């Protein structure tokens, strides 16, 4: 079969690319290895799909950090506000939550996927399901020949939208890296990001499943001091939750280059400084001298956490009463709340990470078109590229914006005006 444009991968980026390409009249096909498209999309935002975030393009560029400059052009072409309008025009209104995260009004990722598939079908996009593209060859005419089992597809332009290598059970198993390598590109080594961190200390396992709603995390990565705030969750082998996922982007790079463990500090109660906590303790202990110290601080933190912290100042294994709390012990307790030390030894494996950090080298892609600088007619979209963002809708925004730009540019390439 011959097409103007083949898109490998029917995830968020591939679907969006297909719509923008087909709107120009190009004959577009999506080849998807699964029997349905958007399998990862359905998992996003715990099934609610955090579509994007509020903020200006400058805010997004800042959040994207090392890849902000590369993404700037596609963000101007398809900014977060335009993404919301895109869905609204197709009947799916969105809402903004307190933290700026944007979700569909229906709170259903399935609706996001359905809207995309309907829009693609209405614009004439064809879908080939259950076919895993295995090889890509350059055609002497300048186009591409794709092989999937016994099937062969020819196209003038090709978009690789095969995703990263995290959550491979959804279909994104890293196939795109091999395609890109075969077509002359280099790959920045894929690593886990937005993933829980594994600590040297084993005590977090005692608190597994316990969440602390507001924690400030500080870590020095190389010569950069990183701070982030948000909810934290203790896990079987360390710490997770949104605040940890966000710093995992920098930690993963560091641990990759420096195998020695990385110290990290948790401020478990950032809304009061040391002095204010001391006053709180003094007042609490004076008011309830016969209570166990863990009970006096029970309003500050989840009970399991206060019990763990209170145990750290026991000397003979017996609970300390508030009236017996020495100045040193009080300060040690407050120190543990304000600067709980932990040591990070690893990030959870890539297969379990929310996103892949690394991928097709940015420098080899033209940011104003998403076209390969090495192989004319080849375009890239989505998580396959060496770009990533923090939690909060920033990664789907990458998929939408790179997908829309790759789709428009690829259609122009195969059907020049």
Ligand X SMILES: Cc1cc2nc3c(=O)[nH]c(=O)nc-3n(C[C@H](O)[C@H](O)[C@H](O)COP(=O)(O)OP(=O)(O)OC[C@H]3O[C@@H](n4cnc5c(N)ncnc54)[C@H](O)[C@@H]3O)c2cc1C
Task: List residues near ligand X by CB under 6 A.
Answer: 8-14, 31-34, 39-41, 43-45, 49-50, 132-133, 161-163, 166-167, 170-172, 175, 354-355, 382-383, 393-396, 399
**Which residues are CB-neighbours of 33 under 8 A, at least 6 positions away?**
130, 131, 132, 133, 171
Closest to ligand X by CB, 33 or 330: 33
Whether the Cβ atoms of residue 227 and residue 216 lie closer than 8 Å to each other? yes
What is each CA distance from 4 to 121, 143, 156, 311, in whole angstroms? 16, 9, 5, 68
Q: Report the C-alpha gap between 317 and 294 in whole angstroms.
A: 14
**Residue number, 10 or 204, with CB nearest to ligand X:** 10
Q: In sequence order, which residues have a C-beta less than 8 Å from that of residue 35 and are 6 or more positions away?
A: 129, 130
CB closer to ligand X, 59 vs 278: 59
In b/e form, how buried is each residue of 102-134, taking b as 16+ CB within 10 angstroms?
bbbeeebbebbbebbbebbeebebbbbeebebe
Nearer to ligand X, 125 or 396 (CB): 396
Residue 123 Cβ, how far from ligand X at the closest point, in Å?
A: 18
Judged by beta carbon, residue 10 or residue 196, the one nearer ligand X is: 10
211, 406 in Cβ contact below 8 A?
A: no
Work out how close the CB of 90 gets to ligand X at its nearest, in angstroms, rounded to a whole number. Answer: 18
**How many Å apart are CA 307 and CA 309, to the nearest integer?**
5
Q: How far is the CB of 195 from ligand X (least distance, A)?
A: 10
Whole-number minimum distance, CB 20 to ligand X, in Å?
14
Q: How far is the CB of 389 from ligand X (least distance, A)?
A: 7
CB 279 to ligand X: min, Å:
40
Q: Assign 2 to helix, strand or coil.
A: strand
Task: Give Cβ neighbours of residue 154 (< 8 Å, ≥ 6 apart).
Answer: 1, 2, 3, 139, 143, 144, 145, 146
Residue 146 or 322 having the CB closest to ligand X? 146
> 202: which 2 tokens?
């084993």
Beta carbon nearer to ligand X, 41 or 322:
41
Residue among 126, 187, 180 nearest 158 (CA): 180
User: C-beta of 387: minimal distance to ligand X in Å?
Assistant: 10
Calculate the CA 398 to chain-centre distance: 10
């Amino acid at each position: 079969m011959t097409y103007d444009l083949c898109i490998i991968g029917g995830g968020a980026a591939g679907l969006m690319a297909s719509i923008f390409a087909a709107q120009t009249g190009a004959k577009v096909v999506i080849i998807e290895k699964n029997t349905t498209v958007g399998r990862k999309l359905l998992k996003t935002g715990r099934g609610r799909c955090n579509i994007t975030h509020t903020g200006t393009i400058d805010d997004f560029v800042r959040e994207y950090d090392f890849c902000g400059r590369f993404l700037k052009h596609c963000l101007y072409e398809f900014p977060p506000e335009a993404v919301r309008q895109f869905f609204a025009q197709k009947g799916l209104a969105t809402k903004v939550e307190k933290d700026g995260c944007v979700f569909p009004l229906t709170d259903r990722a399935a609706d996001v996927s359905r809207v995309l598939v309907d829009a693609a079908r209405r614009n004439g996009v064809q879908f080939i399901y259950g076919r895993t593209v295995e090889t890509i060859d350059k055609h002497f005419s300048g186009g591409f020949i794709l092989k999937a089992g016994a099937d062969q597809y020819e196209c003038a332009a090709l978009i690789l939208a095969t995703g990263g290598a995290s959550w491979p059970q959804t279909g994104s198993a890293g196939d795109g890296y091999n395609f890109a390598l075969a077509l002359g590109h280099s790959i920045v080594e894929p690593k886990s990001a937005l993933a829980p961190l594994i600590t040297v200390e084993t005590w977090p396992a005692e608190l597994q499943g316990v969440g602390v709603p507001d924690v400030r995390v500080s870590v020095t990565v190389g010569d950069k001091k990183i701070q982030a705030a948000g909810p934290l969750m203790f896990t079987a082998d360390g710490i997770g939750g949104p605040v940890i996922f966000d710093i995992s982007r920098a930690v993963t790079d560091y641990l990759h280059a420096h195998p020695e463990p990385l110290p990290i500090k948790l401020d478990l109660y950032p809304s009061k400084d040391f002095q204010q906590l001391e006053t709180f303790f003094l007042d609490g202990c004076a008011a309830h001298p016969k209570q166990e110290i863990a009970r006096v601080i029970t309003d500050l933190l989840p009970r399991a956490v206060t019990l763990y912290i209170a145990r750290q100042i026991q000397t003979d294994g017996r609970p300390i009463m508030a009236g017996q709390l020495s100045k040193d012990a009080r300060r040690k307790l407050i120190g543990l709340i304000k600067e709980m030390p932990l040591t990070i030894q690893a990030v959870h494996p890539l297969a379990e990470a929310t996103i892949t950090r690394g991928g097709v080298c940015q420098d080899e892609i033209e940011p104003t078109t998403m076209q390969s600088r090495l192989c004319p007619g080849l375009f890239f979209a989505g998580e396959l590229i060496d770009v990533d963002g923090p939690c909060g809708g920033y990664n789907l925004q990458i998929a939408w914006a790179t997908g829309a730009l790759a789709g428009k540019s690829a259609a122009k390439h195969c059907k020049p005006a």
